[in-house]
């Protein structure tokens, strides 16, 4: 396993992180989820990412039980706060001081730990003063409940404003967690350069575009049974944007490119994200242990310039690059 610093911080994390969005507590039963976590540990993964909203808190509980008994100092456990959980009352979402302070305690209890290594704002909250949010995060750090703080899917200007307050409050804002893969490159224009300047590292999610970049979805053919595209618990909605024949055709044309590098398509996709030196880790998910074993082989792989050019030539204008696609919902629009 390759290890990288999380941004400019001294925290070292595994370049392949294990995440349990859409899997633990939802798509897969707990025994299968535990087997995937055990395989991740076997493969040298030490960094585990979750969120309170995943499976309405169940994912945190499953991960906590799967990691029970492991040496806590040898792990990096990340979670997030913003989206509603539980009964979804009027204060059960967002980044208010009340919601942050109550949510961290719930997350720690479910994860079975006294602290998380990284506590992340899962989206930007347009209806809470940023000063209130950052002070609450600072107090979480000072209480020893989190070691570092980060954000997820924030725009460049929001990250810059938060970093200024974090500097003033003397708390370590060290990371951004955006979607990033060969087909979704919206961070490259603004978010990534800003984070590079400020010392934040990227922990990227969906490096294989919800499975599309594995090549298992064929143009003009039914989706594989049991795949994310057939999952009615949320997976099908997320992957739908990629299931166009022009995208699926292009992915098939990446097969010889991957073969030239001695990689599977999934390994090529994960390795591609890790070529960006502002990426501290790529988050993989799995419903079967063998998927973990396959994906971790992307760690430490170097793709030469000709190979990177070949990927761009195959994909052409298909990748989304508009920085405006990074958006956080307004709570009033979601919940009234």
Residue tagged 């003009």 (tokens): 220
Token pair listed for 29: 């039963």
Contact 16, 295 (CB under 8 A): yes
* Mean pLDDT of the 263-273 span: 96
Q: What is the pLDDT of residue 239?
A: 72
Q: What is the pLDDT of residue 209?
A: 93
Report pLDDT digits (tens) over 80-137. 999 988 887 888 899 999 999 999 999 999 999 999 999 999 999 999 999 999 999 9
Task: Spell out the alpha helix ranges (H) of 124-202.
Answer: 130-142, 156-169, 191-198
Report pLDDT digits (tens) over 174-194. 999 999 999 999 999 999 999
- Has 115 been annotated as catalytic? no
Sign of CA dihedral 125, 86, 210, 234: negative
Instruction: Provide the 3-class DSSP secondary structure of residue 24.
Output: strand
Cα–Cα nearest to 149, from 135, 157, 138, 160: 138
Contact 39, 16 (CB under 8 A): no
* Element containing residue 18 per DSSP (H, E): strand 16-19
* Mean pLDDT of the 202-230 span: 78
Cα–Cα nearest to 161, from 124, 122, 126, 130: 130
Q: What is the pLDDT of residue 230?
A: 47
Q: What is the pLDDT of residue 286?
A: 86
Strands (E), 236-335: 279-284
Q: Can you tell me the distance from the alpha carbon of 55 to that of 80, in angstroms, rounded to the nearest whole number?
A: 13
Token pair listed for 14: 């595994």
Tell me the DSSP string of 89-101: -TTSSSS-HHHHH
Token pair listed for 196: 């590079």
Q: In the CATH hierarchy, which top-level class contains the domain 3-322?
A: alpha beta
Contact 53, 85 (CB under 8 A): yes
Token pair listed for 219: 């143009």
Q: Can you tell me the distance from the alpha carbon of 83 to that of 286, in angstroms, rounded to the nearest whole number?
A: 23
Contact 70, 106 (CB under 8 A): no
Report pLDDT digits (tens) over 45-65. 999 999 999 888 889 999 999
Kindly give, in sequence order, each residue whose CB lies less than 8 Å from that of residue 234, ignoring residues fewer than 6 positions away: 22, 26
Report pLDDT digits (tens) over 296-335. 999 999 999 999 999 999 999 999 999 999 988 887 776 6
Under DSSP, the state recorded for 175 is: E
Residues in the chain: 336
Local confidence band at 235 (pLDDT 50, 70, 90 cut-offs):
low
Burial degree of 170 (CB within 10 A; 0-12, 13-18, 19+): exposed
Report pLDDT digits (tens) over 146-164. 999 999 999 999 999 999 9
Q: What is the pLDDT of residue 262?
A: 94
Report pLDDT digits (tens) over 17-32. 999 876 655 566 788 8
Catalytic residue from among 54, 119, 124, 148: 54
R_g of the chain, CA atoms, integer Å: 19
* pTM metric for this prediction: 0.92
**Average pLDDT value over all residues in the chain:** 91
* Mean pLDDT of the 288-294 span: 92
In the chain, what are the domain boundaries? 3-322
């Amino acid at each position: 396993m390759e290890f990288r610093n999380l941004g400019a911080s001294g925290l070292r994390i595994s370049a392949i992180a294990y995440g349990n969005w859409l899997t633990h507590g939802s798509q897969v039963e707990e025994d299968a989820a535990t087997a995937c976590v055990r395989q991740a540990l076997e493969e040298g993964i030490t960094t585990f990412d979750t969120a309170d909203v995943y499976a309405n808190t169940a994912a945190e509980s499953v991960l906590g039980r799967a990691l029970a008994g492991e040496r806590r100092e040898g792990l990096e456990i990340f979670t997030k706060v913003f989206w509603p959980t539980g009964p979804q009352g009027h204060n059960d979402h967002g980044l208010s001081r009340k919601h942050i302070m109550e949510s961290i305690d719930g997350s720690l209890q479910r994860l079975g730990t006294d602290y998380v290594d990284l506590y992340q704002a899962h989206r930007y909250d347009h209806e809470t003063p940023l000063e209130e949010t950052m002070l609450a995060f600072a107090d979480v750090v000072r209480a020893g409940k989190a070691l570092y703080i980060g954000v997820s899917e924030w725009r460049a200007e929001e990250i810059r404003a938060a970093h200024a307050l974090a500097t003033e409050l003397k708390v370590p804002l060290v990371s951004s967690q955006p979607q990033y893969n060969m087909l979704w490159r919206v961070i490259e224009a603004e978010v990534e350069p800003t984070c590079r300047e400020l010392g934040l590292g990227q922990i990227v999610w969906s490096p294989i575009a919800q499975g599309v970049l594995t090549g298992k979805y064929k143009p003009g053919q039914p989706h594989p049974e049991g795949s994310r595209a057939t999952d009615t618990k949320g997976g099908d909605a997320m992957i739908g944007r990629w299931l166009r024949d022009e995208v699926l055709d292009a992915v098939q044309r990446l097969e010889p490119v991957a073969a030239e590098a001695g990689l599977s398509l999934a390994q090529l996709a994960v390795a591609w994200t890790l070529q960006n030196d502002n990426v501290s880790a790529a988050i993989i998910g799995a419903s079967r242990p063998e998927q973990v074993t396959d994906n971790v082989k992307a760690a430490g792989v170097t793709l030469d310039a000709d190979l990177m050019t070949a990927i761009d030539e195959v994909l052409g204008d298909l990748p989304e690059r508009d920085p405006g696609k990074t958006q956080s919902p307004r709570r009033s629009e979601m919940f009234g």
